[in-house]
Amino acid sequence: MSKLIIPKIIGHRGACAYAPENTLASIHAAADLGVEWVEMDVKLTRDHIPIIFHDEELDRCTSGSGRVADTDFRDIRELDAGAWFGESFMGEKIPTLEEALNAVIDRGLGLNLEIKPCPGREVETAEIALDFATRIWPDDAPPPLVSSFSHVSLESAMDVMEEWPRGLLIDEYFEQWREIARHLDAHTVNIDGLKLVPEQLEDYLAFGKPVLAYTINDPAKALELFGLGIAGVFSDCPDVIREEIETTH
């Protein structure tokens, strides 16, 4: 398995400023922009099919409503996941993990797969997602970075595929984060770049692993974070951040 090299800019939910988040259209939008990696969220339908979707509820990003964890895949498949974003995306579906992985692989992208379990489904979401992903992902490609806010999901990911690197997502700073990162053998620490406190950043950087920041759409903020030692940022508009980096170097 080749070594993981994390790019400075990762497309968030694909490139979700330009296409409906977490859809195949969003993966292709990112690839068309020349983005190297995308981040996508995976969770389970009621009947345990891994799909790419962020929210616990269907309402914001689809023509449907109700909880993902209460809805079977065949009903989820009927929903429109593009029209809310723009008329030209009408007919876009919520992709399965398998479809999304195939698109990522076909377009030669790297991947940060975020395990985003519905409450109470932390173990099974990681196990099923990793089981699919490890069967599909090419052996000769750099492995995906598997991240989660859920320590339980990361522990399960470690059990299923220890060799795939893990990213510990941290929403709010908490005292025991280092212990947990060590226990999970985290390869990266992924923090909220908009809530950053200088002393906390020092602490994160001192851990000695790449620190990634979400979700950075302001190019000036991205430059500031890179200057402070952040290794990479997640962005809805990765092209805007890249342009800023290119014009300032």
Residues of this chain that interact with Mg ion (CB under 5 A) are 41, 114
CB of 114 or CB of 239, closer to Mg ion: 114
- Best CA proximity match to 68, nearest among 42, 86, 88: 42
Considering CB distances under 5 to 8 angstroms, the limit depending on partner class, which of Mg ion, ligand G3P, none binds residue 169? ligand G3P
CB–CB of 109/15 below 8 Å?
no
User: Residue ranges of the alpha helices (H) in 22-150?
Assistant: 24-32, 73-76, 97-106, 122-136
Q: Is 54 known to be catalytic?
A: yes
The Cα-based distances of 67 to 44, 96, 123, 141 in angstroms read 11, 17, 19, 35
In the list 114, 122, 236, 239, the residue contacting ligand G3P (rule: CB under 6 A) is: 114
Catalytic site residue from 28, 48, 54, 249: 54
Contact status: 62 vs ligand G3P (CB under 6 A): no
Q: What does the alpha-carbon distance between residue 149 and residue 137 come to, in Å, rounded to a whole number?
A: 23
Q: What does the alpha-carbon distance between residue 229 and residue 166 come to, in Å, rounded to a whole number?
A: 20
Considering CB distances under 5 to 8 angstroms, the limit depending on partner class, which of Mg ion, ligand G3P, none binds residue 187? none
Q: Is 12 known to be catalytic?
A: yes
Considering CB distances under 5 to 8 angstroms, the limit depending on partner class, which of ligand G3P, Mg ion, none binds residue 236? none
Q: Hunting for tokens 């962020």 — which residue is that?
A: 54
Q: State in angstroms the smallest separation of the CB of 239 from ligand G3P.
A: 18
Residues near ligand G3P, by CB under 6 A: 12, 39, 41, 54, 114, 147, 169, 190, 214-215, 234
